[in-house]
Structure 1
């Protein structure tokens, strides 16, 4: 693959800066996953390099992210720390993402509603913070959100104030690091260095300890029948979550660079990166928003920047690992708390009270499910509820449109014909695709709104591009009701697709006539009413004769 070197200086600067920013985050997220700091670095190197090389967002920086680590930490607890099975799940997640890319799934992932995305991202941020509170207090809480919350009273009863000071101090430095100095040393890296140096003044501070140096070893996928479904489920969650996380970051990159990413190519790149990460003992990753923003602001625009970022981390692995052994857990916890706080969607939370209450309620529901149940349930429930709410909203619009029986039509010819019917025609017009959401109420509202004395009902499908089976069955119900009440049902404006659906399930019954447009339907309605009036006149005349027989 040919690299674009037109922005060589900017890509080198952006890649080096992003690599320095990624270092403390990779270490911290590796520890948070349960697999150790080197797993975080290996994951950052593999995903960062190959996602940049093969992905569809040139300026994006990929690596371990909070959402992915939350899943990995849960898997670590479920598998009792079996690293080989966890790396197998990472490999499978990568292969699934490659499959997603080839199947064109990227365009559908972007359809997840914003309140759902906001809810689970904020939930992930909350989980990261909850899992770090115990470490800030000098303890190693049990795995899982519930376990960490349950352990909190124990930790509060025995606080290690040295670790608390270190962790909070690290958090403050990361937030308050002067922007002027940030151009040379990023805030997260400054917090890591200062926090580690200050820790030498304390005793009994838990640190990372010995970290292996050199190139990683190969971890081939393993199979264990008793844990098979746990691994498969985790792989699917990692694949979907990583895809969503990456494509959201791609949208951010698009906005900053005024470009357009290739969703499916990006998924293929992320999948290759995660597959390699699992094979070399690294944790899963995705597009990282903060690192991508740093890269772009530092001049990075092309895929070379992401590859340089990974090579910077590789240099650290090969030569500086012994220095990382002295990094305290509390310092990494402080950095991770900042990561969690940054993930929470504060901008939406501040404005949510001004928007639709249902969307805010959905966001809170997804947030709660994310924290206390699991991510896939949260997203699944959120998407289903959002879809049902949307269907209900559209159905209400369609039904309201249906209730409006016109007294005057826009077309002069149609309007003249409508006047000739003398109020004996009821026209029901539909707007937009007629789906199952509105179908349940169509028959009821037609019965309710039909004009007294109407002899002909006209259902106008001119503005309807498609119908589903539920809507077709509703038409059949209207036809049956019209027949039983002695009225004639006419359908007009239906395209070939709608006619095929109506005919396919026998909704277009023999006594329902179809016309190409409303004008033709009204012309036929005038004829029907005229025939009925003639028949009625003859009947009345015949009745009069029978009541008054001629004198003999």
Structure 2
């Protein structure tokens, strides 16, 4: 147990979480205190009961976007809104008990990419009004429709402070940002400046000092079908969001999380969030990575993160009330920009058309229809594209590993796609003490973007160990775009001796 590392990691994560919790609370329509209490309650219970020891949980972009839609559609009916949040946690506990956590590995990368880029785009859209000094809106279409009026009624003071926020977020030297996260730095610098200049900008407003009031969810039975549907939507979304972050934590620490236990922990946390008027959340990637990098290894780090936020809520709430909304809008716009999946977007010309099509459809459905519907349609499309892409080829997948001193050979046959990527990674990640790993893909019949990125992630993870990775392919097994994609992404690791026709 590394208590010092856990305390340092937890405090680091808490400092990063504070401005984001306030911003996501405002974005949800429930206010900054909802974001703050959501972060500390979920963060505390998920740390104790979850299945990823170093995970930091709290409000996230995807969850806040859906929470905002729920608040908007229930028109301020807090009893129904909190009923949705409590049921969200209950659904997640049920998912964990039923051991559904393993199914997240069957979500294709193209679906995740379209979804995350869609969420990032939504966050940016919803923050344009606050950035221009106008009132925020609750959904994408309303945001688009209100932009012309917001521009006509622009509050230049709010706009300048939002721009100043973005400049601080992007231009602060790393030697400073390592000590003080840029979102918190922007708040610390710009909030007093607004007060000194008596700037005409909207602020967070009064945050009740002390513990929150206990809320008893009081759902209208006439709305029960909508409540259950929204709760299921949030539960699925939160589960996916959390387990993807758990996979990131595993890749950094070379550990293995318990997906079903993680869902139970997230469910317990989100259920309690609904009783204190907070907003639900999930495992937060940036905060989790910051915790790990700062030395966090165990559950204590998540507890320390929550206690830090509790200290802020009990002591500094009156100060937080003066934070300008335009500054929080700038912080959220940066969050939205960071969520966009540049990894796939910058390679769009190289990836197979079916992967690109899936990504585009999921993106559009996420932005203009519904997040969970978008993921469901994307998964169905990906399976259809997979099954039609190799109708007559061998679909039987097999992987064999031969290990020798300082050498490891991995031979893969059959299709490499999102359904087999996790199995490939499990085999590759075993016994990484060898100096050279040869991945023989000459008998691979199909390779999609999920499997290519899985290989890329593996190569990146072993680079720090100075392990050489060679990939052997038979060019006849790939279509033109798939081959171009493979060579573009993995070009430094493809063994030129075996990259062309080989009849072995």
TM range (shorter): 0.7 to 0.9
Q: How far apart are the structure 2 equivalents of 1:223 and 1:73?
A: 18
CA RMSD, Structure 1 to Structure 2 (Å): 1.5
Partner of 1:113: 108
1:290 aligned to 2:286? yes
Q: How far apart are the structure 1 equivalents of 2:88 and 2:337?
A: 27
1:134 aligned to 2:129? yes
Q: How far apart are the structure 2 equivalents of 1:364 and 1:32?
A: 25
Task: Summarize the alignment of residues 386-535 of structure 1 with structure 2, pairs less than 5 Å apart.
Answer: 386-397=382-393
Q: How far apart are the structure 2 equivalents of 1:264 and 1:95?
A: 14
**Native 8 Å contact 1:53 1:303 kept in 2:** yes
Question: Deviation digits for residues 374-420 of structure 1, max 9, x if unmatched?
Answer: 11211111011111111112324259xxxxxxxxxxxxxxxxxxxxx
Partner of 1:338: 334
1:237 aligned to 2:233? yes
Question: Structure 1 residue 227: deviation in Å?
Answer: 1.7
Partner of 1:416: none
1:7 aligned to 2:7? no
Partner of 1:206: 202
Which structure's residues are more often helix, by fraction? 1
Question: Deviation digits for residues 478-525 of structure 1, max 9, x if unmatched?
Answer: xxxxxxxxxxxxxxxxxxxxxxxxxxxxxxxxxxxxxxxxxxxxxxxx
Identify which of 217, 223, 226 aligns with 1:221. 217
Identify which of 62, 66, 72 aligns with 1:71. 66
Max radius of gyration: which structure? 1
Identify which of 174, 179, 182 aligns with 1:179. 174
Q: Which runs of 5+ in 1 are unaligned?
A: 1-5, 400-430, 434-552
Question: Deviation digits for residues 4-42 of structure 1, max 9, x if unmatched?
Answer: xx1100000000111011000000000100011111011
Question: Deviation digits for residues 51-96 of structure 1, max 9, x if unmatched?
Answer: 0101111111000001000001001110001122111111100010
**Native 8 Å contact 1:35 1:83 kept in 2:** no
Q: Secondary structure at the match of 1:351?
A: coil
Question: Structure 1 residue 305: deviation in Å?
Answer: 0.3
Q: How far apart are the structure 1 equivalents of 2:22 and 2:79?
A: 20
Question: Structure 1 residue 187: deviation in Å?
Answer: 1.0
**Native 8 Å contact 2:79 2:219 kept in 1:** no
**Native 8 Å contact 1:101 1:265 kept in 2:** yes
Q: How far apart are the structure 2 equivalents of 1:224 and 1:146?
A: 27
**Native 8 Å contact 1:79 1:227 kept in 2:** no
Q: Secondary structure at the match of 2:346?
A: helix
Partner of 1:367: 363
Question: Structure 1 residue 157: deviation in Å?
Answer: 1.1
Question: Structure 1 residue 432: deviation in Å?
Answer: 8.5
Q: How far apart are the structure 2 equivalents of 1:135 and 1:18?
A: 26
**Native 8 Å contact 2:129 2:135 kept in 1:** yes
With 293-302 and 173-182 compared, the bigger mean Cα shift is at 173-182
Number of corresponding residues: 397
Q: Secondary structure at the match of 2:13?
A: helix
**Native 8 Å contact 1:141 1:147 kept in 2:** no
Question: Structure 1 residue 309: deviation in Å?
Answer: 0.1
Q: 1:28 to 1:141 in 2, by over 3 A?
A: closer
